[in-house]
Amino acid sequence: MAGPSDKARFYLESTVDELNELERKKIFSREEITSIAKKRSDFEHIINARGSHPSDYVRYIEYEKNLDALRRKRIKRLGVRSTGSGQRTIFFIFNRATRKFSGDLDLWFMYIEFARKEKAYKKLNEIFTSVVRLHPTNPDVWTYAAKYFMDTQADITNARSYMQRGLRFCKNSEYLWLEYAKLETIYIGKIAGRRKILGLDSDRTQAIVEDDGDADMIALPSITAEDINPSLRKEDGVDEIALHNLASAPVLTGAIPIAVFDSAMKQFKGDAELAEQFFGMFAGFDQLPCLKRILQHILDFLQQKAPEAVHTAICEAGMRLLGLQPTSPDFPSALGDSLEIIESALGKNSKNNSRLSESAIRQLLPFLRACDTEMTDPAIETVLVASLHKYTKLLGRASEKLTGDAIADLVGSLQRDGKAADAARLVQSSMKKFGSNERLQRYREALDT
C-alpha cells in the first residue's frame, strides 16, 4: 500500500506538464513555479498523512483559488491563450476532501457553492446526487438541493422531486415540511406574477387533488404548471396561451400547498402548533392570489380539531386582518375583532400570555409601519400604538426570562426575518418600560448608528 509520500508524489507529478506550460508561456517565472511546486508539495504531504483534518483541505483549496485568480489575470494581461485549469484542480481537491470526510457537511456545502459560482451545472448534479445519498436523513441537504434547482435553474420538477424524496427519509422533520410548502407557494407566486404582468388574471376554478398512487409520496394535483411550461425561465419566450390555461389549473388555486399541509397534519397527528407555523409562513405571501383560500383551509382545520387551542386563536386573529390596510373602511372593525380574540384567549390561556402577546405584536407592527407612510385616521393609529405598548409590557413581564429579554429575543427574530423596520419600531416602543435591558440598549445603539 502506497504511503503518504508516494501519494503526494503521484499527485504532484500529474501537475508537472501544467507548470511547464505556465513557465514556457511566461505566465509565471521560474522562481514562482518553484514556489508553487513547493507549496503544493507541502499541502499534499499534509493531507495524505495520518491525522489530516478538513481544514487542511480548505487551506489547500483557498491557495489554489488564489493561484487560479492570479493565473487568469496574467493571461488576460499578456494576451496569451488560456492554459491550465485551476477549476479542474480545485474540483479534484474538493472531490478528494469529500471522499475522505464524507460526513462533514460544511465541506459539501463549500463544494456546492464553488460549483455554483463556477456555473458547473453538470458537476452540481453529481454533487447533489452524492450528498443526498450519503446524508439522506439530514433535512438541510434536501432543502439546499431543492432551493438550488428552484432559485438558480427555475426547475420546479427537480426541486419538488428532492423535497418529496427528502420527506421519505425525514418524515418527522417539521422544518422540511414547512420548507416544501414554502417552495410550492413561491412557485405559485412566480406564475401569478407573470400572469399579472401579461394581464391574464381571471377567475380560477377549484382544484381537485388526486392520489398519484404512491403511498410514500404526497398526493398532488394531476395537472401542474410544469406540465404546461416546465422551466418558466425569464429568458424563455412567453407562451401566453399556456399561461392563460393555467387559470384553471390547480397550481394557481393553492391546491398543492394545501395538499402538503394536509399530509403534514396526517404525519404529525393534527399538531396545532405546527398548523399555526404553516399559517404564519403562508401569511407572509400577502400578494398571493389564493392566499385567503389556503389560510382559511388551515383555520377550518384548527377550528375543527383544536377549537380551544391558543394556536387557533392566533390564526383567527390574523385571519380577521388579512389583506387589510389601516386606510381601509373595514379595518377598524376587523382590528377590534382581532384584538377581542386575543383578549379572550388571554383570559382562557394565562400560561400562554407570552405566545399570545408576541403574536399580537407581530400583527400590529406592520400596520404601524403603514401608518408612517399613509394618511391614517389618528384614532386608529392611537389604538395601534396603545395596543402595542400593552402587549409589549405583557410580553416583557410574562416571560420567565429577565425583564425585557423576551422583547430582545423578538427584536432579534424580526431582524433575522428581514423585518428591520418592525424591529426598530419595537425597540423604540419598549425602551421606556425596559430601557435598562442591556440587549435592548445595544439594539438601540445599533439603530442610532
Q: Give 258-303 pLDDT, tens digit per residue.
A: 999 999 999 999 999 999 999 999 998 888 889 999 999 999 999 9
Higher pLDDT, 255 or 401: 255
Q: How confident is the model at residue 79 (pLDDT cuts 50, 70, 90)?
A: confident
Indicate whether 192 pLDDT > 60: yes
Residue 92 in this model has a pLDDT that exceeds 90: yes
7 φ/ψ angles, rounded to the nearest 5 degrees: -65, -45
Q: Residue with C-alpha cell 416602543?
A: 429
> Hey, what's the torsion of the CAs at 135, 136, 141, 142, to 10 degrees?
170
Dig out the grid coordinates for 228 from the structure.
Answer: 404546461
Range list of H helices, 209-271: 225-228, 240-245, 255-267
End-to-end Cα distance, the chain: 62
pTM of the model: 0.81
Residue 73 has pLDDT above 50, yes or no: yes
pLDDT in tens, 42-59: 999 899 888 899 999 999
> Which of 171, 402, 409, 350 shows the shortest CA–CA distance to 267?
171
- Which of 377, 339, 373, 385 minimizes the C-alpha distance to 359? 339
Q: Worst-scoring range by mean pLDDT, 90-99, 105-114, 144-153, 426-435?
A: 426-435
- pLDDT for the residue 181: 96
**pLDDT band, residue 439 (cuts 50/70/90):** confident
- d(Cα 372, Cα 370) in Å, to the nearest integer? 5
pLDDT bucket at 235, cuts 50 / 70 / 90: very low
